[in-house]
Amino acid sequence: MSSLLSGLNPEQLEAVTLPHQSALVLAGAGSGKTRVLTTRIAHLIQSGQVSPHGILAVTFTNKAAKEMLIRISAMLPINTRGMWVGTFHGLCNRMLRAHHQDAGLPQAFQILDSADQLAIIKRILKSLGADDEKFPPRQVQWFINNAKDEGLRASQVEVYDDFARKMTEFYTVYEQQCNKEGVVDFAELLLRSYELLIRNEILREHYCARFSHILVDEFQDTSRLQYKWLKLLAGDRAAVFVVGDDDQSIYAFRGANTGNMKDFERDFRITKIIKLEQNYRSHGNILDAANTLIRNNSGRLGKNLWTSEGHGELLRVYNAPTDFDEAAFIVDEVKSLRAEGVALTQMALLYRSNAQSRVLEHALFNAALAYRVYGGMRFFERQEIKHALAYLRLIANPDNDNALLRVINFPLRGIGARSLEQLQDEAKRQGGGLWAAMQQNCGGGATLIQDSGVKESLGRSKGSDKPKKGMESFVALIEALRQGCEGLTLPEVVEHMLEHSGLLAHYRAEREGADRLENLNELINAATSFVHEAEDDSLTAFLAHASLEAGEHQAGSGQDALQLMTVHSSKGLEFHTVFLSGLEESLFPHENSRNEAGGLEEERRLMYVALTRARRRLYLSFAQSRMLHGQTRYNVPSRFLQEIPDNLLKWLQPVQKAGYRSQAAETRNRESNVAIREPAFGMQDHSTSVRDTEAAQWRVGQNVTHAKFGAGVIVSCESQGADARVQVKFSHAGTKWLSLQYAKLVPA
């Protein structure tokens, strides 16, 4: 057996060594699907069945694509740089760049990220006089992207009522504006690439002949249009090898269509599904819990994860009185695990909603435990970076209206809203873009540069370091930047732009601009890295890279830190220990799931993903009361806990278990997700009367002392029981609201 194939289990070996035929591999969590995909590619090349250029491999993240190429390079002595391995958006961008004329795009077309797309939509709605309340910009954005995901242009959208007619009108104007500016959004990349293949038979035949093997990762997350694009490229000859897990389909809100897996079976005449069921990640009890839970979903392709590593520990369940108690419990367990030698970075705190993180973060901060919120503000989404990219986009293509509007008055150069409205009206009358209208009004940028000299062309007056004002200076500035960047390398272009655009000077003058300056300097480093990795010194390519990378998390380096994230963000990751908090009805499953077709089953798949992130230890917790959106809510435990067998659970408060079961069952029978306003979990809160007595001793005007804030006086009291709190005006710390349950005030 080849060294490539050594160590594969029988099912993995079968998948890797399949002859030239289409196949569906049902790969469970932790079953080694990435290894199967990369080994399949390496085996095809090594055995001479296909050249590296005859393979098309599609992943869902740039990180996964990069990892795949690294693994292939380690297996085979080949240069992988020219291989077609990447995301749907990345590969479509590559195809459109190569055939931009056939696609009806300018050579230097630019990609809009989600925020840029929303900005264009807002401008369009304003120009059309649309009511923002009746037609929210984000809803219009969703309508457009959803139509594109279905493969529909504005002229193809079916209109049933006046509302749909107006949305279609906005879509039409949006298409016209994007075509005028030479920009495309994410959905457009795929749709235009699909249309290119549909329309151009010669081009389609070229790619069908080239790619004899097509491999797709995370197939359960493909949209309808992505599936149709793959079918076009496959034609009648290509062997399509897809790997997916219908139990981990959790992105319906992004257009993912689990039906694609069954359609693939039919369309490509799949006679046998290869199931990868041996799990190399988790212990048996965790897998048994996940298997039992997911069986409650209907229409599954069906698989049963197993492991040879033994049953391991039982799943620990904690019933907390409040969300503060839940957080305190998690902190204590984290400390204990760290003392046992488990690194913080190998522990993850998962939650269904971002709103849950505040209490957890507060508890971790107070306990001096380092943590990192996975998927926080991304580099390319930071304000200062967006400004810098806008200037770069104008250097590449000054007809980009969206980029122009972002920086035309940043840093401030005295261009007000009225002036912008007049400029937009003028552009509309001329039938062109804002840049052309500005040039017309200012007499032409080239003339300005010749007349005023280099110093003035950079937006500064003779004999002065103060920026010139008005649109004239902006036109001169952009023209000078474009001329000044000619012949420079990409990092030099970025550096030149930062220095002469005024961005660095602006943030140097800010009192708290140090972090922003560091980020801007990091942009130069990003450009340098891009040139090195992509071997491409093109500004257009770098801007496309920035747009494609925006929204994709880039893991930071540094100290050992606990990982906090939503369950959605955790997909594809694994940890020694996982804490899954907030397992309550209306929270997980989310209350919105009741109003959506298949919503509860999607929530159950999300729970399945959460369970299978844990390798060795798994904590499940819920709170009797939780503060969400400024209100205390009393919810019953999640039905998902009920669906896990008793013999797999270790209740850390066994006395409460029976009450929980009866309450959860009652709630399910009622099919109610409303907040419960009486003590839940089958037990009387005996401490309430005690707390009420304690609260009664505090009154407005009373002098008190706090261990941290010092002496103060109570100025307000509210609520009772566990929710009782007082407002105290301290001599030195100001006025603060304090929970009586935790504040430990002392009468002065």
Describe the crossing of helices 62-75 and 33-46 by its angle, rounded to 10 degrees.
50
Output phi, psi for 717, to 5 deg: -135, 145
> Hey, what long-range contacts does 90-96 have (CB within 8 A, 24 or more apart)?
90/62, 90/65, 90/548, 91/56, 91/58, 92/189, 92/190, 92/192, 92/193, 92/229, 93/189, 93/544, 93/548, 95/193, 95/196, 95/207, 96/184, 96/189, 96/192, 96/193, 96/196
CA–centroid distance for 387 within its chain: 21
Give the Cα separation of 202 and 189 in Å (integer): 20
Give the Cα separation of 257 and 246 in Å (integer): 10
> Which residue in 11, 12, 33, 663 is the catalytic one?
33
In contact, 614 and 563? CB cutoff 8 Å: no
CB atoms within 10 A of CB 140: 22
Candidates 729, 737, 736; CA nearest to 712 is 729
CB atoms within 10 A of CB 486: 8
Give me 428's structure tokens: 């509309």
> Which residue in 11, 149, 218, 221 is the catalytic one?
218
DSSP 3-state assignment of 91? helix
Give me 4's structure tokens: 């490539």
Give me 360's structure tokens: 């957890």
> Which residue in 11, 113, 149, 217 is the catalytic one?
217
Q: What is the dihedral of CA 433, 437, 443, 445, to 10 degrees?
A: -30
Give me 84's structure tokens: 């077609």
Give me 244's structure tokens: 């997916």
> Any idea what DSSP says for residue 56?
E
Burial code (b: 16+ CB inside 10 Å, e: under 16) for 574-607 equals: bbebbbbbbbbbbbbbbeebeeeeebbbbbbbbb
Candidates 404, 379, 408; CA nearest to 524 is 379
In contact, 307 and 297? CB cutoff 8 Å: no
Q: Is 613 a catalytic residue?
A: yes
DSSP 3-state assignment of 427? helix
In contact, 570 and 348? CB cutoff 8 Å: yes
DSSP 3-state assignment of 238? coil
Output phi, psi for 402, to 5 deg: -65, -45
Give me 320's structure tokens: 């907390």
In contact, 649 and 622? CB cutoff 8 Å: no
In contact, 520 and 504? CB cutoff 8 Å: yes
Give the Cα separation of 691 and 724 in Å (integer): 8
Judging by DSSP bridges, how do beta strands 746-747 and 703-706 pair with one another?
A: antiparallel
Give the Cα separation of 220 and 231 in Å (integer): 15
Biggest distance spanned by C-alpha atoms of the chain: 88
> Which residue in 38, 168, 220, 248 is the catalytic one?
248
> Which residue in 34, 61, 172, 447 is the catalytic one?
34
Dihedral (CA of 287, 292, 297, 300) sign: positive
Judging by DSSP bridges, how do beta strands 649-651 and 631-634 pair with one another?
A: unpaired
> Which residue in 604, 613, 615, 617 is the catalytic one?
613
Tokens 């400029």 belong to residue: 423
Q: E-assigned strands of 116-197?
A: 183-184
Q: Is 218 a catalytic residue?
A: yes
Q: Is 66 a catalytic residue?
A: no
734: amino acid identity, one letter: G
CB atoms within 10 A of CB 134: 9
Name every residue whose Cβ is closer than 8 Å to that of residue 45 and which is 6 or more positions away in sequence. Answer: 51, 52, 55, 76, 78
Q: Is 720 a catalytic residue?
A: no
So which residues are the catalytic ones?
A: 33-34, 217-218, 248, 613
